Structure formats: structure tokens, C-alpha cells
Amino acid sequence: MQRLFSRVVVAGVALALVLMAVSSVALAQSYHRSNLVSNLTGKAKHTDALLKNPWGLAYGPGVPFWVSDEASGYSTLYDGAGNPQSLQVVIPPKSGTGPGTPTGIVYNGSQEFKIRNWASVFLFATFDGTISGWSMFNPSAALIGVTQARAVYTGLAITHKTTGNFLYAADAANNRVDMYDGSFNLVKSFTDSTIPAGFAPFGVQNIGGKLYVSYASTSGGTGGYIDIFKADGTFVKRFAHGAPLNQPWGFAVAPANFGPLSNTLLVSNNTKTGTINGLNLTTGKFVDTVKNSLGKPIF
């Protein structure tokens, strides 16, 4: 499990590298990267010292982007232009006090996942196996709703229903996804037992009511797998495996106006020269890599 605990702080990484489709008469459609905010001065349009190893990003209707900063132990907020917002939220460790190691983050639009009778608006996972919730009960800090012994949570996903929602936490240390109900009760754990040894789930995302789970090498090796599960944890199918996957973690479905990669599943490779690759959302086949106007991959 060396890969899990060798936390490489991504200094200078921008919040949400904004990829904008641009067209030209002379050039095929391409993409442009804008560095919006960094923890290092001069690396982006804005600077925020707390933005260290930004791990997860989530947003809800009419609210800023929330980022979980694993190396600082905070969640920091930004508008669409990367301007830091005044609210800075401490995400606690298992002890319940001080900054922890936040990883996955999701927005909760329901009245479930209550802590001290307040519904959590944003939920955070941590490296030491906690899930915390933020509400206006305590705006400056999230409160712990789950503590799972020996778990290492690296990603979160959530269903979006009026009631009866579930929360899913990727546990890379135990090679499983833990499923919680709206009262933070552990419902079940599930995984794909056919994944080769040495791979574990790091990312999980709810896409169209199905759970997409990415498996990466725990030693930092190449390759990877993406599986699809039903909301109840039942295995559906292997979506993709092998190249170009290389430490696959993050997912996003590209909108219909996103140039050559419109309507694809964008998958980020979590390496120092990691690329973002578009996969056909139906077949899982590789479509292309996000590239600039020179046809070079954007890292």
C-alpha cells in the first residue's frame, strides 16, 4: 500500500483546470487550459495558500465550487473565475479536532445525512476513514458522521433522490466501496473480485444513476480499470481497462458543446504528467485525449 501513503503534494496545481473548446478556420477544434488559482504565487490568476493537493471538487445550485484540500486539511471555495471566497472550512481527522486529510467531496441536496439535526450540504471523506458533513450549524468546520476503522477513503459518490439516498465511499485500503444510508448506517460493502491483485478502488462517481468505480495500482503502476455497478452495489459490467488508463481517479461527463470530446466520459490520470482522456459513454472505447491547438496532450 505504499502508493496510498506517499502523499505527493501537488503544489501549484490550479483549481479545476478549465478546458474550453475553441474553434478556428485553420485549426481543428482544440482545448485551452486556464490556471485559475494556485497555492503558489505567480502560477495562476489567483493565489490561495490553503489550496494544497486539491483532491475533490463539488458544487450545488447557486453556490461556489467547493474543493477538498488534502494537504492543508481545509475545504476552500471559489467562484467560476477562481476568486477565493471568504469561507474556509476545517475538515477534521478521526480525533474530531484540527485539520484532517479530506479527499472525496459531494453535494447533498436532500434533507438526509443529518448531523446534530442539520442536513449536511457537503460531505467529505478522509484518508483516516471518516465521513464528515458541513451545514450552517457550524460554518467554520465539518462535523464527523462516520468513523470506519482501518479505512482509507479516497472518493465519494451520492445518489440524488428526494429521500432514500445512499452515499458511497471508495476504500482503497480494503479494496471495496462502502455504502451508507441517509442516516450514516453502513448498508454493505462491494467490489469486483476479478480485478487483479495490486489494484484498488480510488474514484467513484454517480453517472446517470449508475456507479462508475475506478481501480488504480496501489504501487503507482500503469494501467487501470473502470467498472459499472447498480446503485445497490450489484456489478453491471467492466467499462474500460488498460491504456490509456494510468492511475485513473476522476470522472466527468463532457457536455454536448465540448468540441471533439462532447458527450464522452472524461477520465483523469493521476500522475505528474497525467492526461485527461475521453471514453465513449456507451462502449467505453477510447475516443481521444484532451489536446491543445498544437495537437499536444494537455497535462
Query: Which stretches of the chain drop beneath a pLDDT of 50?
Result: 1-28
pLDDT score for 13: 37
**Per-residue pLDDT, 16:** 40
Q: What is the DSSP letter of 149?
A: T
The confidence score (pLDDT) of residue 272 equals: 81
Alpha-carbon distance 62 to 51, whole Å? 22
Exposed/middle/buried for 258, CB within 10 Å: 0-12, 13-18, 19+? buried
pLDDT tens digit string along 105-157?
A: 999 999 999 999 999 999 999 999 999 999 999 999 999 999 999 999 999 99
In the DSSP assignment, the letter for residue 73 is T
Q: What is the pLDDT of residue 19?
A: 38
Q: How many whole angstroms from its chain centre is CA 165?
A: 19
Q: What is the predicted pLDDT for the residue at 261?
A: 96
| pLDDT attached to residue 18 | 40
Which pLDDT score, from 0 to 100, does residue 299 have? 84
Please, how many CA atoms are within 13 Å of residue 230, restricted to the half-sphere of its CB? 4
> How would DSSP label each residue in 173-198?
TTTEEEEEETTS-EEEEE--TTSPTT
- 146 residue type, one letter: V
Set out the domains of the chain in order of their start, with CATH numbers: 2-8+35-255 (2.130.10.10)
CA distance 266 to 288: 10
Nearest residue to 201 via CA among 273, 159, 251, 166: 251
